[in-house]
Chain A
Amino acid sequence: MSAEKYVKLPQPQDLSEREKEDAMGAYLMMFAALATSLPLPIINLIAAIVYYYINRKKGRFIHFHCLQSLLSQLPTTLVNWGLLFWALQIFFFDNFEVDDWFYAYLGFAILANLIYFIFSIMAAIRARKGIFMYFLFFGSYAYHRVYGASNELNYDNEKLQNPKTQKVNSPPFL
């Protein structure tokens, strides 16, 4: 991965207040389930996906944070779904009993959510200041995807500076 393959990273002073706020909003989507008063793990993920598709074209900085926030939600969502499924099987359908494995998984889920919560809040505060924070695995992937030279997305805030020829028409094959 050589430095030439990536677009230059913006510094906090290069970013507008609006960009920083929109980037911060991506991490705060973890509170979406609270807003709808539905304790379903999928709500946060749906909100993050909607937010991602609404905001990704506004700018690279926003796109990066939206993508990182969305990807980092996936493991926690899966863990929470697992917990919900297990709890329903125990308390509603009587298919399993509460045992040590359940308590261990419960502890793991709480820990995973706590770590996710703390890191997301930290990332939100840093994004608000225009500073990058890279999560494990997801950070480097999001950076590569958004700031990589292969990214051909037309960003709203780059259209005036770097007008690209839009690829609208293409042949029926190839």
Chain B
Amino acid sequence: MKLTVTYQERYSRSELLLRSIFGVFYIVMPHFFLLIFMGIWGSILSFIALISILLTGRYPESMFEYQVQLLRWQLRVNSRIQNLSDGYPAFGLNGTDEYTSLEIEYPERISRGTTLLRLFFGIFYVILPHGFILYFRVLWGVILQIYAWVSVLFFAKFPESAHTFLVGTLRWQYRVNLYMGNMTDVYPPFSSKEEV
């Protein structure tokens, strides 16, 4: 998996203020309204894919593509909500974005054994250890977002280390989601780095 959110040299102050005051109306509400329905369909497909994996050992390719497109859409919106990117996130599964990118390699085969292991014990060996660390990363991320918000407002610059940390947290979450969603057999590393 390759997740990137481009670091901009300069961030727009006006867009920051617009997002902070009215973002809930013109970004969060319209996108979340659609994403709820797309997410319900995504969870249905995810369950169907689980059965398909148990029957055939493969994640159906078109369902996999749908999940990847949905994750891309969520990433576009997330990066705006967290002020990691300027601009308005494109609607739709086929929407493109100049600042965010998410590439996930299609696995030819998914192990049935690992799938069953995830299904019954995933909460213990994936959710609990990763969730524990991610909980504190997200908490620290909130503090960094406030710091970055002030920085962008006064200097039009997002602190690069904060950007790296926040993008890293997103990357970590996406890796865990991919593994728990049966989209990969590679156990998510305890790292936020792009290359592990």
B48 touching A50 by the CB < 8 A rule? no
When distances are taken between beta carbons in the complex, the residues of chain B under 8 Å from A32 are: 44, 47-48
When distances are taken between beta carbons in the complex, the residues of chain A under 8 Å from B55 are: 24, 124-125, 128
A128, B62: Cα distance in complex, Å: 14
Sorting the interface of chain B by its residue count into under 10, 10 to 19, 20 to 34 or 35 or more gives 10 to 19
When distances are taken between beta carbons in the complex, the residues of chain B under 8 Å from A24 are: 52, 55-56, 60
A35 CB to nearest chain B CB (Å): 3
Chain B CB within 8 A of A18 CB? yes
Chain B CB within 8 A of A161 CB? no
B interface: dominant SS? helix
CB nearest neighbor in B for A58: B62
Sorting the interface of chain A by its residue count into under 10, 10 to 19, 20 to 34 or 35 or more gives 20 to 34
Q: A35-B43, A128-B55 are in contact. Are A21 and B61 (CB under 8 A)?
A: yes
- Partner of A35 from the list B47, B60, B61, B62 (CB cut-off 8 Å) is B47
B43 touching A36 by the CB < 8 A rule? yes
A21 touching B48 by the CB < 8 A rule? no
When distances are taken between beta carbons in the complex, the residues of chain A under 8 Å from B48 are: 25, 28-29, 31-32, 35
B-facing residues in A126-169 (Cβ within 8 Å): 128
A55, B45: Cα distance in complex, Å: 13
- Sort A-B residue pairs by CB-CB distance and give the 4 closest, nearest first: A35-B47, A21-B60, A35-B44, A28-B48
